[in-house]
């Protein structure tokens, strides 16, 4: 496990904490047509409930966290909680991402066999089954009064990865850059696995790089290709799902620093 130190990597995207294993800023990514995604607005993360006092101080201080978007299912939240974040001055919004609105709200049913799974198929189903939570998350991010925003699931890879892909694709980040960001989780997966495997909701996880713990850029590239082929990309998917053109334009203003 990491020691209780804090610092940021030289590229500025990884944000280091003692007891949160997979945190990075969505800033610094290229945008088609010019510009880059904006630093300091939105962060993606693995589950943060083990955070230390120093971790919390960093979230509330330098990170300026105001809104925590929790993509976990209700049974995960009930069992695992929020740790020190439970009493912090942060708005916690639970927006469960699942395979269909009618599916079970138990984590064990999200991935019945964690050692053998088609991740592209899972991500397609998570997108189709979570229209309302994803729209709600986008609308929170559009609201500058909510910044900064951190969203997370358990590992910070699958449910978090789907929301990240929608956000970045909608504002024009190229698929290869989105896939590369997704693949970065592989650098932290051993730490993530060790922490999750000790928790009641996630015991019995497969080895790193196996099944649900696989992290390959190609998976995200294929998911994005499906999103483009079936819906015309994330922006069109959001508009068709109920986002307004004004909200989409605001999302781009919030997330993109123009050249």
The answer to whether residue 179 is domain-embedded is: yes
Render pLDDT for 76-134 as a digit per residue (tens, 0 to 9): 999 999 999 999 999 999 999 999 876 655 666 676 667 789 999 999 999 999 999 99
Measured distance CA(185)–CA(156) in Å, rounded: 8
Domain count for the chain, please give it: 1
Q: What is the pLDDT of residue 7?
A: 40
Domain encompassing residue 27: 7-243
CATH code at position 36: 3.90.190.10
pLDDT band at 2 (very low <50, low <70, confident <90, very high): very low
Encoded tokens for 103: 């599916």
Measured distance CA(4)–CA(50) in Å, rounded: 12
Task: Tell me phi and psi for residue 166, to 5 degrees.
Answer: -65, -45
Q: What is the CA radius of gyration of the chain?
A: 17
Q: Which of 44, 221, 23, 247 has its CA nearest to residue 119?
A: 221
Please indicate whether residue 103 or residue 188 has the higher confidence score (pLDDT).
Answer: 188
Q: Which of 33, 255, 1, 35 has its CA nearest to residue 149?
A: 255
The answer to whether residue 176 is domain-embedded is: yes
Measured distance CA(63)–CA(71) in Å, rounded: 20
pLDDT over threshold 50, residue 70? yes
Measured distance CA(24)–CA(193) in Å, rounded: 17
Render pLDDT for 29-48 as a digit per residue (tens, 0 to 9): 999 999 999 999 999 999 99
% of the chain surpassing 90 pLDDT:
83
The DSSP bridge pattern shows strands 67-70 and 256-257 to be: unpaired
The answer to whether residue 132 is domain-embedded is: yes
Q: What is the pLDDT of residue 102?
A: 63
| For residues 214-229, average pLDDT | 98
Measured distance CA(22)–CA(48) in Å, rounded: 9
Measured distance CA(167)–CA(153) in Å, rounded: 16
Q: Which of 176, 178, 155, 158 has its CA nearest to residue 167?
A: 178
pLDDT band at 200 (very low <50, low <70, confident <90, very high): confident
DSSP category for residue 211: G
The size of the chain, in residues, is: 259
pLDDT band at 13 (very low <50, low <70, confident <90, very high): very high
Q: Is 64 exposed, middle or buried (0-12, 13-18, 19+ CB in 10 A)?
A: exposed
The answer to whether residue 20 is domain-embedded is: yes
Q: What is the pLDDT of residue 58?
A: 98
Encoded tokens for 14: 């990884």
Mean confidence (pLDDT) of the chain: 92
Encoded tokens for 199: 């928790």
Contact 168, 36 (CB under 8 A): no
The answer to whether residue 249 is domain-embedded is: no
The answer to whether residue 254 is domain-embedded is: no
Render pLDDT for 225-255 as a digit per residue (tens, 0 to 9): 999 999 999 999 999 999 999 999 999 999 9
The answer to whether residue 105 is domain-embedded is: yes
Kindly report whether the global pTM for this prediction surpasses the value 0.95.
Answer: no
The answer to whether residue 259 is domain-embedded is: no
pLDDT over threshold 90, residue 196? yes
Encoded tokens for 62: 């330098």
């Amino acid at each position: 496990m990491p020691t209780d130190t804090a610092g940021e990597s030289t590229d500025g995207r990884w944000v280091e904490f003692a007891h949160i294993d997979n945190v990075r800023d969505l800033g610094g990514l290229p945008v088609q047509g010019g510009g880059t995604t904006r630093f300091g607005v939105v962060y993606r993360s693995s589950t943060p409930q083990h955070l230390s006092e120093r971790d919390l101080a960093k979230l509330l201080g330098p990170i300026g966290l105001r809104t925590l978007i929790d993509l976990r299912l209700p049974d995960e939240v009930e069992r695992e909680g929020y740790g020190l974040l439970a009493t912090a001055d942060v708005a916690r919004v639970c927006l469960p991402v699942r395979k269909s609105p009618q599916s079970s709200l138990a984590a064990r049913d999200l991935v019945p066999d964690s050692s053998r799974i088609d991740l592209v198929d899972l991500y397609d189903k998570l997108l189709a089954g979570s229209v309302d939570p994803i729209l709600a998350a986008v609308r929170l991010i559009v609201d500058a009064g909510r910044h900064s925003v951190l969203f997370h699931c358990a590992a910070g890879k699958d449910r978090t990865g789907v929301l990240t892909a929608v956000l970045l694709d909608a504002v024009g980040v190229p698929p290869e850059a989105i896939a590369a960001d997704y693949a970065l989780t592989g650098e932290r997966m051993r730490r993530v696995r060790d922490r999750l495997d000790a928790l009641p909701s996630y015991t019995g996880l497969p080895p790193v790089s196996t099944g649900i713990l696989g992290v390959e850029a190609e998976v995200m590239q294929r998911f994005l290709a499906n999103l483009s082929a079936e819906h015309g990309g994330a922006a069109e998917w959001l508009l068709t799902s109920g986002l307004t053109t004004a909200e989409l334009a605001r999302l781009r203003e919030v997330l993109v620093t123009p050249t």
